[in-house]
Amino acid sequence: MVRITEVERGSYAEKSGIVAGDSLVAINSHPIRDVLDFRFYMCEKRLELELERDGKSYTVKIKKDEYDDIGLGFETFLMDKQQRCSNKCIFCFIDQNPHGMREGIYFKDDDTRLSFLFGNYVTLTNVPDSELRRLCEMHISPVNISVQVTDPELRCMMLGNRFAGKLLDQMQILYDGGLELNAQIVLCRGVNDGRYLEKTLSDLERFIPRLTSIAIVPVGLTRYRNGLYPLEPFDKNSALEVINTVNSWGEKFLEKYGVRTVFVSDEFYLKAGVEIPDGEFYEGYPQLENGVGMIRSMQEDVLDEIDFIKEDGANFEISRKISVATGVAAGEHIRFLVEKIQKLWYNIECNVYVIKNNFYGENVTVSGLLTGGDIIEQLRGKELGTHLYIPRCALRHEGDLFLDGVSLEDMERELKVTVVPTDSDTDFLYKITEE
């Protein structure tokens, strides 16, 4: 049963007499506990809703098209409380944040519903088998799973949870239920790499092809690790070993199943000093959100769009003085793109500034973890032109604040420049070439 907080004017719900404050108990005799139940059972063309008002039950019937919304709003998006993480992972990034940041940064979620709705990765440690079967009954796909390692004893240790060792049995339930799966492995040097990584990939092979992709990403280590499990960053040689291991398994899978399936994130290639593979290697880029092929994808998108613009015709005589800020990992990539752009828009003067992450420490190089304070400190007094372009991923979902609480308005005031967030695709091209 979930409480209704809003009824859209003119909707099926309002016309049926439902009002804010009522509680939705069931749809077509199916109990409604959360957003998954509601979305799944609301797709029927004929609905019988069981509701409560002031402790009294009543029923309404609605006839609609299959995917029509009926106009109900609830207290939260999930329609109940978001599930907190029950693990104490040795690599948890949230534990590596300093004190005094905004409250939302410290919330640890591990909610299977967010896996389907927003692509979050979940460990399944707080999910009973009955919930996994509910996902199967509803055909909820894909389920994105934080695997880390399949060895039961090591997984329990890494996640700090004695229930973490039954992962393969849980994945088997989802696999048998016909669900599509994606996997993520946060690799910790000297912990779950080497023979443990080999075993993990061997164990996961049984789920291909419903296991459509596996991303191997390096653990993120900040300078705020006092009292935490001792972990070391990957260096050039250890990163190269990971690349060779993973690509060897990818070749095996490609030969056996026709798909490579497993990939390392761009960070490993950058750390090892190895060229990032071409676009075809990534099989449609299934793990972009984990930084797998992100640099190659952006390069292809921007260069393809440049070719299109050349054929379609454009104003290449735009004259501007601008600047771009980016993280260390993407620095050379952004410089490469800007040089390509300037060959056509030759009157655009653009300074690319690579921002070192002093806030989290030098081991954190991705643009998404840049802070406003670091950008301001390192660009103060520099030639910025009329506009400064920053990676949108460094801002929270609302698009207004950096991780350290600095706002876009703060940055504009401090640097005396117009600050423009851009996405990692053709948005970057069009923003810096706009008149």
- CA dist., res. 324 & res. 328, Å (int): 13
Nearby residues of 10 by Cβ (< 8 Å), 6 or more positions away: 71
The architecture of the domain spanning 297-432 is: 3-Layer(aba) Sandwich (3.40)
User: CA–CA distance from 388 to each of 31, 126, 376, 383 (Å)?
Assistant: 52, 44, 11, 10
Q: Which of 327, 328, 310 is nearest to 429 (CA)?
A: 310
Strand segments (E) across 82-200: 143-146, 181-187
| Residue with token string 């389907």 | 116
Q: Are 389 and 323 in contact (CB under 8 A)?
A: yes
Q: What residues does CATH 3.40.50 cover in the chain?
A: 297-432
Which token pair is 376?
């301001």
Which token pair is 408?
């876009």
- CA dist., res. 359 & res. 355, Å (int): 11
Its pTM stands at 0.85
Pairing of the two strands 387-391 and 418-422: parallel
Check residue 101 and give its pLDDT: 78
User: CA–CA distance from 48 to each of 32, 42, 309, 381 (Å)?
Assistant: 12, 10, 54, 66
Length of the chain: 435
Give the Cα-Cα-Cα angle 364, 185, 171 (nearest 5 degrees). Answer: 150
Check residue 103 and give its pLDDT: 73
Check residue 400 and give its pLDDT: 87
- CA dist., res. 159 & res. 165, Å (int): 10
Check residue 435 and give its pLDDT: 67
Q: What residues does CATH 3.20.20 cover in the chain?
A: 94-290
Nearby residues of 226 by Cβ (< 8 Å), 6 or more positions away: none
The CATH class, in words, for 2-74 is mainly beta
What would the DSSP string read from start to end of 114-148? HHHHH---B--TT--HHHHHHHHHTT---EEEE-S
Check residue 46 and give its pLDDT: 94
- CA dist., res. 299 & res. 212, Å (int): 24
Q: Are 122 and 111 in contact (CB under 8 A)?
A: yes
Residue type, 32: I
- What CATH number labels 94-290? 3.20.20
Compute mean pLDDT per 10 residues along the chain, 435 residues long, and list them: 92 94 94 88 92 94 91 83 84 89 76 73 92 90 95 97 96 96 97 98 97 97 94 96 98 97 97 95 94 94 89 77 95 94 91 96 93 97 96 89 94 96 90 85
Task: For residue 224, report the phi and psi dihedrals to the nearest 5 degrees.
Answer: -100, 65
Which token pair is 173?
């339930």
Q: What residues does CATH 2.30.42.10 cover in the chain?
A: 2-74
Which token pair is 111?
């909610």
- CA dist., res. 78 & res. 93, Å (int): 24
Q: Are 47 and 29 in contact (CB under 8 A)?
A: no
| Residue with token string 């599509």 | 180
